[in-house]
Chains A and B, each alone.
Chain A
Amino acid sequence: MLRATLKSLLGRKLRLALSAIAIILAVTFVSAALVLQSTLNRSFDTAFNSAFERIQLQVTAASPLGGDPGTAPPVPLDDTVVARTSGVSGVASARGEVRANGARIIGRDGRVPETSGQRIGVSWAEGSGATLTEGRAPAAPGEIVINAGLAKETGYRVGDAVGVLTMKPRQQFTVVGIATYEGRDDLVNGEQTISFALPTAQELMLGAPGAFSSIDVRLAPGADTGKVKADVRNALGDGFLVRTGTEVAHDASGPARGTFTGITYVLLGFAGVAVLVGVFLIANAFSIVVAQRTKELALLRAIGAGRGQVRRSVLLEALIVSFLSWIGGFALGLLVGRLAASALASGDDGVPIAGFQLPIAALVVSFLVGVGVTLLSALLPAARASRVAPVAAMRLTTQKERPSKVNTIIGAVLLVAGAAVIGAGLAGDAIAAVGGGALLTFVGVILVTPVLIAPVISLVGGLTRSVPARLGRLNATRHPRRTALTAVSLMIGVMLVTIVSTVLSSLQSTATHVVDANLKAELIVNSGAVSAGSVPPTINPESLRRMRELPDVAAVAGYAFEPAKVNGKDDYVLSWDDVSALTKIASVQFVAGGLSTDKVLLNEGTAKRLDAKTGDQLTVQLGRGEERTLEVGGVFGDTQVADGIVLPWSFASTGFRTDQPNQAYVKLREGAPLTATKSEVVALLRDNPEVEVRTRSELIDQAGSAIGLIVAVVQVLLAVAMIIAILGVVNTLVLAVLERTNEFGMLRAIGMYRGDVRRMIMVESVVMSLFGAVLGVVLGAGLGLALVQALKSQGINQMALPWQLMLVYVVAAAVVGVLAALAPAGRAAKLNILAAVRHA
């Protein structure tokens, strides 16, 4: 039996290669994603470990908001903590220092230079690991040392005057020295480090003279790190973090790592789609193999092979193919993962790539995906193979295939149940139910697809008037189950991208709607997307003050937004530097209370969420300072522009990272010239290189371009799904050509041109692909709209279908159909008529 299996395997190399490609693709994506992730993680760990290996113990104040110590803004410590730390036995010395994210140098081009790392401001100290390669240490308030990498990036040299943004607006400094870190240009790759004299760093980076962000603890000779760490923690009590160098390194590497996590997720998403589509492709490939081997299997049964033997023979074939494909896919994945890691992490501010290490996780997961999924997909075809009756060996023609009634009924029930669950989920605001309903609907559609094929395909009958086209259309309905599996593998990709596109276009439509309806300001001052691990941009309050004095400006509202704890729970808060301008820049209308400069304002949605009304008390803990209790002074109707927990500026400016706004909205006077006023505003913001001025339409475009990037990623996803689906279509067509050799011979004999034969197969392929795409677009749009409806509470309140994209997807599917048919159609057209007619 084994020998017979191997022989028949080798006899169908092409079909095998096609299903193998699907497995290889899925395995490659999965292992590449995991290898990329593990390689980057190890590379970052190595880089940060060597950057922070000098640290023996470090004391910092715990952020009152909790959270990741790598990203939370530093909480100032005072002298007394330093003194208490140095008093602990085993501590040789404790030195207060400043190290905080947010020191942004302005380059020669007037912009803050790009980096994948952080922009750190530190207090200069001998023995802190920095070595001067040029110049001297900073001593006066106006002096800084920059790291060699930053000097190279900006071209600044010792003696140059440069502008730096900190917690305070832009100030001028003189570069007095260039530093390296144990021979490296950067402390850790990509970091821009600006060293100030201690008092300057305390004021500019912490906003607190005499304070420190951390304490560098040196241990006495022979002291045990673990014991001293525990003793220091005990001596200081709650509210402090005591970490070893390794721990600091790990926390610090978090934000840098975060930049690349997204890419890993995208790859894993591709892998997921590849697996999902692959399941159908593999199942189809094996049912085709079984269909083709029917005679052979029946013969084996007739000469005495048992059902189990036949089933095992098919599964063995699946095992061999998937195992070989897994090995190939894994090797390819290793290569792609390593290359992607080098590509992503290289460059001027990249980290060196860690050495090779066998990725166990990737090995195991990709094995499960490759071999496990294939075997599962082959189970059904194997069961069908075992039901082949021995007499089938003697039959001339194959039985006509009909859609299974049981499957259709189950499918219809699932479809109705799915729709009902979605409906109930939407009514009850239960997004999990909507997801579950979507899954039921999806499975239901797959099961009913075979019965849909004949009626749906006959709808396009009018378009197929020529004889070859008509025959091609009829051929597509010949094997409903096979056509359904093929179409479904195409449907999945189209469905997924249609869902995402529907959500995104609803999002964009919502953004447009909100700007049109609720934003009154004509000019918006903000930055592009804020990258992970960086601090938000700042706008000099002085620039805003002068803006307010422009004759054409009616009102300006500066805005800042930060995480906080409200009533003890993690939340976000915002604040306006001039809350009285709020009603001028947005359509804010109070339903209770009114504007207030010392009370909290809430929009209705937030008030409902917090269960608060005018006059209630809220406790608010910001990133710095003590917790405070504030009264709710007013509740306004939802605007989606200014919604949230609005704190008084007097409170926010003491507890936020900085007292400078991140964004600003400008309302012009009636009849003011837009372009000219924009230029005036731009001129006033010259010293704020991180922000740009946008008109309302530019703001909508900005929202659109952010969405555009996601759409682009989604298109790549579709391309991946389509490439895999092409394999499925090719597979089905190759079999069709083999099965109908006889018919092609007859058609050619009675006068059909080669081109007509080719066209006939093209039409069959295109009809199958279009069927899958239309199914995908319809299902995707339906599920997408359900998702949008479910996300209504998240602020997406406009439904919009991406008509153009949907059309593009359908056209793309037609192209897929043509491409997939090229080889099989060519083969059919070139058949030798005599051999084809005699072919039994």
Chain B
Amino acid sequence: MSVLDAAQPAAARAVDVWKVYGSGETEVAALRGITLSVEAGKFTAIMGPSGSGKSTLMHCLAGLDTVDRGELFVGDTTLTGMSDKQLTQLRRDRVGFIFQQFNLLPTLTAQENILLPLAIAGRKHDQEWFDRVVDTVGLRPRLGHRPSELSGGQQQRVACARALLSRPDVIFADEPTGNLDSRSGAEVLSFLRASVREFNQTIVMVTHDPNAASYADRVVFLADGNIVSEINDPTEDVVLDTIKQLDANANRVMETA
């Protein structure tokens, strides 16, 4: 099934993945041989300073970007070498997205936005599942409203419901709380946490925020295109300590160099 043996089934995997931008003098390697397995039914956070490659890694895993070397899997499907059409189909059927800027269509109501991925795929939705998701995010009274009539937190909850509705193998969330105040952010994070616990949903989240990361089951730290550390069942303090430590290491490396 794969080159790596894993006791826990992996929802998504990267195996020795390299990604290089530019060429010659201006060449920058964003990913330098990263190997990562995202466990199914778990909430994984990816952290790291700007330019560490965390977003690139997530985009590659989600089939939005391609890698120069290495292999990517969603479930046991190889992404490497897929055509644009195949990647689109993969995203539509097996991957969900939550963006920092909500990215809802202003012309559609909340309900229509939630149903959009299924509509694009031409699939029927499961009414029971829809009701359950909508009630979990607490959007029931807001379904007929357009995004411009919703608060930022409500909009992001619509985006979460949209991602959940197709029951994807994995949901990728890119700084989902980056544009929200702390209260709305906490609501969205609790909801993500709850969907992992109750619906057994796999979520990968990229974030800067140690507090956001503390909601995850596992935090992976990236720096300069490599995984430099990881913690399981993190708390905010542990995450902060790890970041401080990594910064100190990085400074030491720079001083000795």
CB distance from B27 to the nearest CB of A (A): 19
Chain A residues whose CB sits within 8 angstroms of the CB of B93 once the complex forms: 751
With both beta carbons as reference points, the residue of chain B lying nearest to A756 in the complex is identified as B120
Q: Which of B64, B101, B103, B104 contacts A834 (CB 8 A)?
A: B64
For the complex, is A54 an interface residue (Cβ under 8 Å from B)?
A: no
User: Contact: A750 with B84, CB < 8 Å?
Assistant: no
CB distance from B121 to the nearest CB of A (A): 6
Within 8 A of B (CB), among A731-751: 742-743, 745-751
With both beta carbons as reference points, the residue of chain B lying nearest to A468 in the complex is identified as B120
User: Contact: B64 with A750, CB < 8 Å?
Assistant: no
In angstroms, Cα B62 to Cα A751, docked, is 11
For the complex, is B108 an interface residue (Cβ under 8 Å from A)?
A: yes
User: Contact: B117 with A754, CB < 8 Å?
Assistant: no
In angstroms, Cα B88 to Cα A748, docked, is 7
With both beta carbons as reference points, the residue of chain B lying nearest to A839 in the complex is identified as B101
How many A residues, CB 8 Å from partner?
A: 24
Known: A474-B108, A747-B120, A754-B84. Is A742-B101 also a contact (CB below 8 A)?
yes
Q: Which of A400, A478, A749, A752 contacts B64 (CB 8 A)?
A: A749
Q: Which of A467, A742, A752 contacts B88 (CB 8 A)?
A: A752
In angstroms, Cα B91 to Cα A833, docked, is 12
Within 8 A of A (CB), among B84-126: 84-85, 88-89, 91-93, 96-97, 99, 101, 103-108, 116-117, 119-122
Q: Which of B62, B103, B107 contacts A746 (CB 8 A)?
A: B103
Within 8 A of B (CB), among A170-191: none
User: Contact: A834 with B59, CB < 8 Å?
Assistant: yes
For the complex, is B233 an interface residue (Cβ under 8 Å from A)?
A: no
CB distance from A429 to the nearest CB of B (A): 50
CB distance from B170 to the nearest CB of A (A): 14
Chain A residues whose CB sits within 8 angstroms of the CB of B105 once the complex forms: 471, 743, 746-747
User: Contact: A837 with B99, CB < 8 Å?
Assistant: yes
Chain B residues whose CB sits within 8 angstroms of the CB of A752 once the complex forms: 88, 92, 120
In angstroms, Cα B174 to Cα A400, docked, is 27
Q: Which of B65, B92, B103, B122 contacts A742 (CB 8 A)?
A: B103
Chain A residues whose CB sits within 8 angstroms of the CB of B89 once the complex forms: 751
In angstroms, Cα B120 to Cα A23, docked, is 41
Chain A residues whose CB sits within 8 angstroms of the CB of B107 once the complex forms: 471, 474-475, 477-478
In angstroms, Cα B91 to Cα A756, docked, is 15
User: Contact: A751 with B103, CB < 8 Å?
Assistant: no
Known: A471-B105, A474-B107, A475-B107. Is A751-B91 also a contact (CB below 8 A)?
yes
User: Contact: A750 with B108, CB < 8 Å?
Assistant: no
In angstroms, Cα B103 to Cα A840, docked, is 10
Q: Which of A471, A474, A750, A837 contacts B91 (CB 8 A)?
A: A750
Chain B residues whose CB sits within 8 angstroms of the CB of A750 once the complex forms: 91-92, 96-97, 116-117, 120, 162
How many B residues, CB 8 Å from partner?
A: 30
Chain A residues whose CB sits within 8 angstroms of the CB of B103 once the complex forms: 742-743, 745-746, 837
Chain B residues whose CB sits within 8 angstroms of the CB of A471 once the complex forms: 105, 107-108
Write out, one digit per residue, whether chain B residues 135-150 have a CB within 8 A of any chain A CB (1) or not (0).
0000000000000100
Q: Which of A467, A742, A840 contacts B116 (CB 8 A)?
A: A467
In angstroms, Cα B162 to Cα A282, docked, is 41
For the complex, is A265 an interface residue (Cβ under 8 Å from B)?
A: no
Within 8 A of B (CB), among A467-486: 467, 471, 474-475, 477-478
For the complex, is A753 an interface residue (Cβ under 8 Å from B)?
A: yes
User: Contact: B59 with A751, CB < 8 Å?
Assistant: no
Within 8 A of A (CB), among B129-181: 148, 162, 174
User: Contact: A833 with B64, CB < 8 Å?
Assistant: yes
Within 8 A of B (CB), among A367-393: none
With both beta carbons as reference points, the residue of chain B lying nearest to A752 in the complex is identified as B120
Write out, one digit per residue, whether chain A residues 407-436 have a CB within 8 A of any chain B CB (1) or not (0).
000000000000000000000000000000
Chain B residues whose CB sits within 8 angstroms of the CB of A833 once the complex forms: 64
CB distance from B156 to the nearest CB of A (A): 13
With both beta carbons as reference points, the residue of chain A lying nearest to B104 in the complex is identified as A746
Chain B residues whose CB sits within 8 angstroms of the CB of A467 once the complex forms: 116, 119-120, 122
In angstroms, Cα B85 to Cα A756, docked, is 11
User: Contact: A753 with B101, CB < 8 Å?
Assistant: no
Write out, one digit per residue, whether chain A residues 610-629 have a CB within 8 A of any chain B CB (1) or not (0).
00000000000000000000
User: Contact: A749 with B84, CB < 8 Å?
Assistant: no
Write out, one digit per residue, whether chain A residues 444-484 have a CB within 8 A of any chain B CB (1) or not (0).
00000000000000000000000100010011011000000
In angstroms, Cα B96 to Cα A698, docked, is 71
CB distance from B78 to the nearest CB of A (A): 19
Chain B residues whose CB sits within 8 angstroms of the CB of A754 once the complex forms: 84-85, 88
User: Contact: B64 with A751, CB < 8 Å?
Assistant: no
In angstroms, Cα B121 to Cα A752, docked, is 8
Chain B residues whose CB sits within 8 angstroms of the CB of A753 once the complex forms: 85, 88
In angstroms, Cα B105 to Cα A837, docked, is 13
| In the A-B complex, the 5 residue pairs with the closest CB atoms | A751-B92, A746-B103, A474-B107, A750-B117, A467-B119
Interface residues of B (CB under 8 A from A): 59, 62, 64-65, 84-85, 88-89, 91-93, 96-97, 99, 101, 103-108, 116-117, 119-122, 148, 162, 174
